[in-house]
Structures are given as C-alpha cells and as structure tokens.
C-alpha cells in the first residue's frame, strides 16, 4: 500500500504553536504529529508515503528525510502555489490503482487494512472514514412563521452528525475529476463525484480519533499521550 499525506497547511487554528513550525511538526509528546501518523501507516503495511508539502516545507523535509528511520520510502511534492487539499495529488506521478490519503494532522487507531479492504470490496472511487459527533447549541432555538409568531422552541438542542476523519482511500481513476494546476478542495471533489453519480462510500468508525487542527483535540492528545504511544507498539 502507498499513502499520500496532505501536509501543506499553515495551521492557523493552532496558533501560537504553529508560529515558527508547520502544523505536521507540532509535537505530541516526543514526536511530531505527522510521525505518529506515518508510524501507524507503516504498521499497517504501507511501504511508500508521498508528502504534499508547502508552508515551511523545508522543515518537514529536514525532519523526516527519506523515511529510512521509519522504515518507509518518503517522497515529497512541493506546491509552488496553494492547490487546496486535493489539487496536490495531480503533482504525484505513478500512484497505484488504489491508495490511502490522510491529512497530516490526524491521529487515530483505525485499522487501515480493514478500511482499505472495505474500499476494494465496495468498488467505489472514494471511501471516507467517518465518525459520529454530537454538536450542541448552547442557546434556546426557536422557529417562527412569516408573521413572527413562535411555532417551536428547543432548549440547547443537540444534533448527531457523521464527520469526515480526514482519512480516505482513493481510486486512481478519481484524478480525472481533479483539474491541473488549480486549487481544488476535498469538498469540491466530493460534490463533483456526487454530481457525476460516482460511487462514494463512508466507513463509520467509533474508536480513537483526533483532528489536531482543533485546539481542544490537541490538548486532549497531550493528556492522552500514553494511549497514543501504546498505538505505536
């Protein structure tokens, strides 16, 4: 298996931690975030990782090198201009028929092999790992009719939503929908695939998952470093 790691973001939500270092190198315990991800992928059987880098790219390259210390073959793709989350994939040559894509700030104990096999069996162009999250509004919410008369009122309602975990399996054929040299985000990709009635699958997962782009998840990662270290053994 091969993986593409999207590691070009500026990490503005993690300021001031990302003032002088790129988000993938923000430390969790003794390791950068992206190293934890790469070690998990290597354990799952990934042999080559392509890192799409941009902001402070030289720091990422200097830190990870060719991947030998992680028992990986690491290749780099550098964006001269920002291409969004999916656009950089068009810069990578010779990708296999199916490959893993992951945001460089994700930590999870998801079984990558199971996700990969699920994708192959589902015969989809894209499989998205998802997790259920409860979003609560800390206000009383009301609905009114056209005259302003209140019809319903709910105190602090909660909604259960499936959210993308930032871990995916792509079929190489998906790249025909990605424009060359133009910014193209994951949202653009999914909407384009749905518009063309392509097969997109979700893979629900309820285990450990942190999106370190969120400050509260970064704080949780620091608190639960023992769990994360156990994932790497």
CB 178 within 8 A of CB 83: no
Q: What are phi and psi of 50, to 5 degrees?
A: -100, 120
CB 34 within 8 A of CB 25: yes
Selection from 161, 164, 157 nearest residue 140 by Cα: 157
| 156 included as an active-site residue | yes
Cα-trace Rg, the chain = 19
> Of the residues 121, 132, 156, 182, which is catalytic?
156
Q: How far apart are CA 14 and CA 94, in angstroms?
A: 34
**Residues belonging to the active site:** 156
């Amino acid at each position: 298996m091969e993986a593409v790691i999207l590691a070009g973001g500026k990490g503005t939500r993690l300021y001031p931690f990302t003032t002088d270092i790129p988000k993938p190198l923000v430390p969790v315990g003794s390791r950068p975030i992206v190293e934890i991800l790469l070690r998990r992928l290597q354990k799952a059987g990934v042999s080559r990782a392509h890192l799409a880098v941009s902001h402070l790219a030289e720091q990422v390259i200097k830190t990870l090198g060719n991947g030998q210390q992680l028992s990986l073959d690491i290749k780099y793709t550098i964006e001269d201009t920002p291409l969004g989350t999916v656009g950089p994939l068009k810069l990578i040559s010779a990708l296999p028929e199916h490959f893993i894509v992951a945001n460089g700030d994700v930590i999870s104990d998801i079984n990558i092999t199971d996700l990969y096999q699920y994708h192959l069996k589902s015969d989809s162009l894209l499989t998205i790992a998802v997790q259920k999250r409860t979003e609560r509004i800390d206000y009383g919410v009301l609905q009114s009719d056209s005259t302003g008369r209140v019809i319903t009122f709910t105190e602090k309602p909660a909604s259960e939503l499936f959210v993308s975990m930032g871990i995916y399996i792509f079929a190489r054929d998906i790249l025909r929908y990605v424009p060359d040299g133009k910014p193209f985000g994951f949202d653009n990709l999914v909407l384009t695939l749905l518009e063309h009635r392509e097969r997109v699958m979700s893979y629900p997962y309820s285990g450990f998952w942190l999106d370190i782009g969120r400050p509260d998840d970064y704080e949780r990662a620091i608190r639960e470093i023992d769990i994360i270290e156990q994932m790497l053994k």
